[in-house]
Amino acid sequence: MHRTRTRMLVLAALLTLAACGGPKSSSTSGSEGGPVATSRMTIWLTVESSEPGMAVVRANLNDGKLLGESYRLDGGDYLRACLNNVCRNMADNDSIFTPDYIARFDYQPGVDYVVSFNRREAQSAPDSRIVLPPAFTIVTPANRSQVTNGDTVLVTWSPTGAPALVELNYEADCTFLDGTHGTSSGDLSDDANSDGRESVRIDPIVTFTHPNVTSPVTRCSIDIIVSHELQGRLDPAFHHGFARGIVSRRVTLDYIPH
């Protein structure tokens, strides 16, 4: 489950960044108050299509340290994303702690989404590239299928996604008899044999939403997310990071205990 662990580490790092204060300036936080060298920057870059027809390009620039900080782009630094002949400057999401830069495009599989980091006073990184996998459809179970204790659901999708890496995750929101809610999310499995099908047990998902709650569960909404992922290529001017092209689809299950 290497990819899930990586995403969890990224999330933990983001939370840590938030705890350490606001982002640093990309143009004045380097040596002697100058720009941060691109060769000392880490970039987290994704292009994801989570709904038909649309793809979101998202980037975060940071120092790559566990107890580190993100960079807010200023002083003429900016990110630009291009698809074919359409280019858009990536907009700051205005986060106080961990600014992400975002652009939206049409979904196009098998075509390079190119992200350039453009700098006025330091080395630019003009050529990070990501390709999205083909679209797919979750075949079973049907959306809003009802499940209960002890059930195992066969999740199938078409096409299978090979040679992309395939991962199943879940998000669950449960309501308890006393009116409170419990939520959980996490990894389920990888489709290691690339056959486009995985069995998902319901009981562990429900259990994870209320490990220390004594009130009975009355119902849950459980989203099963299937993701197909291709690794992209970062511009070598960066110190480190990742580039991923992801197509994800989800199906919602209604859990009612018997």
Among 161, 141, 144, 142, residue whose Cα is nearest residue 152:
141
Statement to judge: residues 7 and 125 lie in one domain: yes
How many residues belong to the chain? Answer: 258
> Is the predicted pLDDT of residue 194 greater than 90, yes or no?
yes
Beta partners for 204?
A: none
Q: Is 19 in the same domain as 54?
A: yes
Tell me the mean pLDDT in the region 211-232.
92
Mean pLDDT of 90-119: 94
Mark whether 212 and 170 lie in a shared domain.
yes
What mean pLDDT do residues 219-234 have?
98
Please compute the mean of the pLDDT values over residues 99-111 and round it to a whole number. Answer: 97
Q: Can you give the pLDDT at residue 8?
A: 43
Residue 250 confidence (pLDDT) above 80: yes
- Give this prediction's pTM: 0.87
Backbone angles phi, psi at 108, to 5 degrees: -140, 115
pLDDT tier, 17 (very low <50, low <70, confident <90, very high otherwise): very low
113/50 same-domain check = yes
For residue 80, give the H/E element and its range: strand 78-83
Can you give the residue range of the structural domain that contains 68?
Answer: 2-133+231-240
Q: Is 56 exposed, middle or buried (0-12, 13-18, 19+ CB in 10 A)?
A: middle
Q: How far apart are CA 144 and CA 147, in angstroms?
A: 9
Percent of the chain with pLDDT strictly greater than 90? 81
* Reported confidence tier of residue 37, pLDDT bands at 50, 70, 90: very high
188, 178, 172, 184: which is closest to 211 by C-alpha? 184
CATH number of the domain that residue 26 is part of: 2.60.40
Instruction: Inform me whether the pLDDT recorded for 232 exceeds 90.
Output: yes
Backbone angle region of 93, left / alpha / beta, with phi > 0 → left and psi within -120 to 50 → alpha: alpha
Q: Would you say residue 18 has pLDDT above 80?
A: no
pLDDT for residue 121 is more than 70: yes
Q: What is the pLDDT of residue 213?
A: 67
Let me know how many helices (H) and strands (E) the chain has, helices first: 2, 18
Residue whose structure tokens are 């511009």: 235
**Cβ atoms of 128 and 237 closer than 8 Å:** no
Residues 32 and 60 in one domain: yes
What one-character-per-residue DSSP string does 94-117 give?
Answer: --SSS--EEEEEE--BTSEEEEEE
Residue 10 and residue 123 in one domain: yes
Q: Evaluate if residue 106 carries a pLDDT over 70.
A: yes
Percent of the chain with pLDDT over 70: 91
* 31: helix, strand or coil: helix
Predicted pLDDT of residue 210: 81
Verify that 47 and 169 share a domain, yes or no. Answer: no
Indicate whether 159 and 187 sit together in one domain: yes
- Which token pair is 77? 């630094």
101 and 19 belong to one structural domain: yes
Q: Where does residue 144 rank: exposed (0-12), middle (13-18), buried (19+ CB within 10 A)?
A: exposed
For the chain, how many structural domains are there in total? 2
- Residue 4 pLDDT: 42
Same domain (yes/no): 199, 126: no
**124 and 154 in a common domain:** no
User: What's residue 21's pLDDT?
Assistant: 58
Q: Return mean pLDDT, the chain.
A: 91
49, 119: one domain = yes
